[in-house]
Amino acid sequence: MTHTSAISAWLKTHGSLPVNVKLLIEGEEECGSDNLEPFLKKYADKVMADAIVLTDTGNFDEETPSITVALRGLVALDVTVRSMDHPLHSGMWGGPLPDPVQALAKMIASCTDAKGRMTIPGIYKDVKKPAQAMEASLKVLKLSEKTFRAQSGMFAKTKLMSSPKDILRANWYLPAFSVNAIQASNKKDCANIINDSAWCHVGIRLVPGMDATKSLKALKAHLLKNAPWGVSVKFESESASPAWTTDTDAPAFAAARRALLKGYGRASVDVGCGGSIPFVGPFSDALKGAPALMIGVEDPLSNPHSENESLHLGMFRKAIASAIHLYAEIAALDKVR
């Protein structure tokens, strides 16, 4: 909507755009974008462009425009643990019988230490240090523990999994393990049984330098090694998307910064993003290395993927204004890349 509004403003005011704009709406990002790469290969000539503008990221705060220069990747999979072929009464069978729910809990717990740092062998080996420009941004940008707790809704007595001064570094430039879902029977049907199986969906957010396939393999090997009591372990729905980063030397980035300054009335900052957008890499590759301008529209309280997902209307208006200026700034460039 940011870009359709900007295009509408140009057409109403001038009757035409100063640059050619191609709009592509991709609806499979949340399920892996499996059809995107075949689409890009088939229609590469139709989507070819000098720059890519993606408006699927956030701003540092509700006042500061941001250009995302790094995305974390993601490896994820379903894990099913079994110890018998049907549920059994916990009184009649409990004691000698291994509980698959406890087995899965032990496997999950083995992936991190008391401070939340992953214990998977070699998982940090290929992690790259942030580039010089990223380190410079980390020194300038300030996010207090108080603000982080307020934005995230963390309870007062819940401990951070990083030092207070490294919240942004841990969120943007370090990998992280998470358990997205877990199930063994359910609250409604709870009974005095030993469940025959337990299931979970787990993942690791990757950072630049980490190989997605290698990281997935390491995660599976670690889970298997820490499966107790000879329980059966089955992996399904595996996915592996790499992290992404870019340098900002291309003239298009300077154009974007000028546009954001005009649209927001404040200089932009370079930020990382803890989330993943799997199609950024394939898009850039298909367009032969075209610079990817990830210009955010969200604010920290947008609550993406959560209750009351929203958008700050003031930021939305400024994002539209910035997009209007961006088209003019890119049109004025002799060289985009």
pLDDT single digits (tens) 312-332:
898 899 999 999 999 999 999
For the entire predicted model, the pTM comes to 0.86
Identity of residue 279: F
Residue 74: which H helix or E strand, with range? strand 73-82
Contact 210, 73 (CB under 8 A): yes
pLDDT confidence band for 32 (50 / 70 / 90): low
Domain with CATH 3.40.630.10 in the chain: 2-71+244-331
pLDDT score recorded for residue 337: 74
- Name residues whose C-beta falls within 8 Å of residue 36's C-beta, 6 or more positions apart in sequence: 26, 28, 278, 279, 282, 283
DSSP state of 128: P
pLDDT above 90: residue 166: yes
For 147, the 3-state DSSP assignment is helix
Domain 2-71+244-331 has CATH 3.40.980.10: no
Q: Averaged over 144-154, what is the pLDDT?
A: 93
- What tens digit of pLDDT does each residue of 60-102 get? 988 899 999 999 999 999 999 999 999 999 999 999 999 999 9
- Say if residue 257 is exposed, middle or buried (CB neighbours under 10 Å; 0-12, 13-18, 19+): buried
What kind and span of H or E run contains 78?
Answer: strand 73-82
Per-residue confidence (pLDDT) for residue 57, from 0 to 100: 87
pLDDT beyond 80 at 29: no
CATH class of the region 73-127+175-241? alpha beta
Tell me: pLDDT of 257 over 80: yes
Phi-psi region of 166 (alpha: psi -120 to 50; beta: other; left: phi over 0): alpha
User: Which of 19-28, 113-122, 162-171, 209-218 shows the lowest per-residue confidence on average (mean pLDDT)?
Assistant: 19-28
Q: For residues 17-28, give the mean pLDDT.
A: 89
Q: What percent of the chain has pLDDT over 90?
A: 71
- Ranges in the chain annotated CATH 3.30.70.360: 73-127+175-241
Indicate whether 336 pLDDT > 90.
no
Helix H or strand E segment including 240: strand 232-241
Q: What is the rounded average pLDDT for all residues in the chain?
A: 92
User: What are 274-295's pLDDT values in tens digits?
Assistant: 988 878 888 888 888 889 999 9
User: Is there a contact between 73 and 205 (Cβ–Cβ < 8 Å)?
Assistant: yes
Q: What is the per-residue pLDDT for 277?
A: 84
The whole-angstrom separation of Cα 132 and Cα 137 is 9
Residues 121-147: tens digit of each pLDDT: 999 999 999 988 889 889 989 899 999
Taking residues 303-313, what's their average pLDDT?
Answer: 83
Q: Examine the pLDDT at 304 and tell me if it is beyond 90.
A: no
pLDDT of residue 165: 94
Q: State yes or no: pLDDT of 234 exceeds 80.
A: yes
Residue 271 above 90 pLDDT?
yes
pLDDT, greater one: 304 or 221? 221
What are the pLDDT digits (tens) for 178-203?
999 999 998 998 999 999 999 999 99
